[in-house]
Structure 1
Amino acid sequence: MTNQIIAALPDDCRAVLAPRLMTRPIRAGEVLYVAGSPARSLIFPHDGMISLQTRLRDGRMIEQIQVCRDSMAGGEALLGVDRAQAHAVVVLSGEASWLPVADLIEARPHFPSLDRAILSHVSRTLAYTAQAVVCASVHTASQRIARWLLRADDMTLTDSFQIMQRSLAELLGLRLATVSEACSRLMRAGAIRYSRGTVTIIDRPLLVAHACECYEASLGVTC
Structure 2
Amino acid sequence: MALRNHFLDSLEPRDIAGLRPHLSEVALQRNELLDEAGQTIVDVYLPIDCILSIVTVMRDGAQVESRTIGRESGYGLLHALGSPISYERMIVQVSGQAWRLPLERLRAAAEDSAQLTRCIVHHAQATIIQSAQSTACNSLHSAEQRLARWLLLTQDRLNSDLLPLTQEHLSIMLGVQRTTVTAIASELQARGLISYVRGKITVEDRRALERTSCECYEAIQRGTEAMLHPHRRR
TM-score when normalising by structure 1: 0.94
The match for 2:103 is 101
CA distance in 1, matches of 2:22, 2:84: 20
CA distance in 2, matches of 1:217, 1:199: 24
Counterpart residue type for residue 112 of structure 1: A
Segment of structure 1 superposing worse, 104-113 or 16-25 = 104-113
* 1:13 aligned to which of 12, 15, 25: 15
Deviation digits for residues 104-144 of structure 1 (CA, Å, limit 9, x no counterpart)? 12212443221111121232233222111110001000100
- Is residue 200 from structure 1 mapped to residue 202 from structure 2 by the alignment? yes
* 1:213 aligned to which of 201, 212, 215: 215
CA distance in 1, matches of 2:218, 2:188: 18
CA distance in 1, matches of 2:146, 2:59: 24
Contact kept? 1:191, 1:203, Cα under 8 Å: yes
Q: Aligned with 1:221: secondary structure?
A: helix
* 1:83 aligned to which of 62, 72, 85: 85
Q: What is the CA-CA distance between 1:185 and the residue it aligns to?
A: 1.4
Segment of structure 1 superposing worse, 97-106 or 200-209 = 97-106
The match for 1:57 is 59
Q: Aligned with 1:47: secondary structure?
A: coil
CA distance in 1, matches of 2:173, 2:217: 17
RMSD of Structure 2 on Structure 1 (CA):
1.5
Number of residue equivalences: 223
Contact kept? 1:62, 1:173, Cα under 8 Å: yes
* 2:183 aligned to which of 181, 184, 187: 181
CA distance in 2, matches of 1:105, 1:164: 35
Segment of structure 1 superposing worse, 74-83 or 91-100 = 74-83
Counterpart residue type for residue 220 of structure 1: R
Contact kept? 2:80, 2:104, Cα under 8 Å: no
Q: What is the CA-CA distance between 1:51 and the residue it aligns to?
A: 0.5
State how 1:125-204 maps to structure 2 within 5 Å.
Answer: 125-204=127-206
Counterpart residue type for residue 183 of structure 1: A
* 1:31 aligned to which of 30, 33, 39: 33
TM-score when normalising by structure 2: 0.90
**Gaps (5+ residues) in structure 1?**
none
CA distance in 2, matches of 1:55, 1:76: 21
CA distance in 2, matches of 1:167, 1:118: 28
Counterpart residue type for residue 93 of structure 2: V
Contact kept? 1:76, 1:84, Cα under 8 Å: no
Q: What is the CA-CA distance between 1:64 and the residue it aligns to?
A: 1.5
The match for 2:232 is none
CA distance in 2, matches of 1:200, 1:18: 36
Q: Aligned with 1:58: secondary structure?
A: coil
CA distance in 2, matches of 1:25, 1:60: 28
Segment of structure 1 superposing worse, 135-144 or 66-75 = 66-75
Segment of structure 1 superposing worse, 66-75 or 104-113 = 104-113
CA distance in 1, matches of 2:42, 2:29: 21
* 1:74 aligned to which of 53, 62, 76: 76
